[in-house]
Amino acid sequence: MTRPDPVLAIHGGAGTIRRQSMTPEAEARYHAGLRDALSAGYAVLARGGPALDAVVEAVKSLEDNSLFNAGRGAVFNADGTQEMDAALMDGRDRRAGAVAGICGPRHPILAARAVMERSEHVLLCGDGARRFCAEAGLEHRDPAWFRTEQRWQALQEELERRRAGAADDGDEARKHGTVGAVALDGDGHLAAATSTGGMTAKAAGRVGDSPVFGAGTWADDRTCAVSATGHGELFIRHAVAHEIDARMRWGGQPLATAAESIIAEIAPLGGSGGLIAVDARGNVALPFNSSGMYRGVASGAGVLTGIYGDPLVGR
């Protein structure tokens, strides 16, 4: 059997800065951040490593980059604290691990990996998750390390908007963001990873779709690997990631049809956002119904990144 060509796709969230507010400098920084994450993840695939390691490396890079809403630079909840969710899934056997509502590990995705590999559970949250992460010896950081002024201001603006009873102005950058990666490795295995601070001014204790398997994260070698971003409640209610798997497995749909149709269906219901997905043949789908989605793809053909609806660009 011929080995498939490895491919990695990433996203940095559907909460893109409005095009009219985006400066060329800021745009260049986002493209550079995406390219850094793609090279970190694709390096694993290029040396014959597993998809699971590739998606973790890509997400670690995005978590450390304060431009994106995950790890450092995570958004604030309504109480003014940061609560992060992360998930990792292995398409070989549907092994999975996730954490919800934590602040402490420098890389929440490594906390998800520790749950998968070192516990008998799939999802840990809150105090128990924090204790587990400490006992697992994960690298930790103080809350101040995760904080950025821009995210703090976004919270103030959102709280002020609510106090004033003003209508939602639809500014996706203020509300949204998440990072994620999906990969196919040279052995034909798929994996998905997602990490997020959630939505700005979310209620304390709120958990989004990212750590909910079948909603924001999914991987099964028979079908696809998926990582989503957007209004998490809608992605949970419509089991978006698993819906793509089901449409492929039971409905015989190609990846692009399954992924694009579910993103189109949830749009009128308030499910703004998008996702990245890859199938076992290396097809990639990057649909979104928001004004943009930070995203990129790395393969033997090179590295491509994009923000708005225009075709991806290589630099």
Where do contacts with ligand ASP occur on this chain (CB under 6 A)?
A: 13-15, 176-178, 196, 198-199, 208-210, 216, 229-230, 232, 273
Q: Is 178 annotated in the active site?
A: yes
Residue 205: CB atoms within 10 A of its CB come to 12
Catalytic residue (choose from 23, 148, 178, 217): 178
Nearer to ligand ASP, 178 or 223 (CB): 178
Q: Please, where are the H alpha helices in the chain? A: 24-46, 51-64, 108-118, 126-135, 143-146, 149-164, 172-175, 232-237, 240-249, 255-266
Q: Are 277 and 255 in contact (CB under 8 A)?
A: yes
Nearer to ligand ASP, 91 or 208 (CB): 208
Provide, rounded to whole angstroms, the least separation between the CB of residue 13 and ligand ASP: 5
Provide, rounded to whole angstroms, the least separation between the CB of residue 173 and ligand ASP: 10
Provide, rounded to whole angstroms, the least separation between the CB of residue 87 and ligand ASP: 11
β pairing state of 302-306 and 84-90: unpaired
Nearer to ligand ASP, 272 or 305 (CB): 272
- C-alpha–C-alpha distance, residues 177 and 175, integer Å: 7
Q: Is 177 left (phi over 0), alpha (psi -120 to 50) or beta?
A: left
Q: Are 266 and 258 in contact (CB under 8 A)?
A: no
Provide, rounded to whole angstroms, the least separation between the CB of residue 314 and ligand ASP: 26
Place of tokens 């002024």: 149
Q: Which residues are catalytic?
A: 178
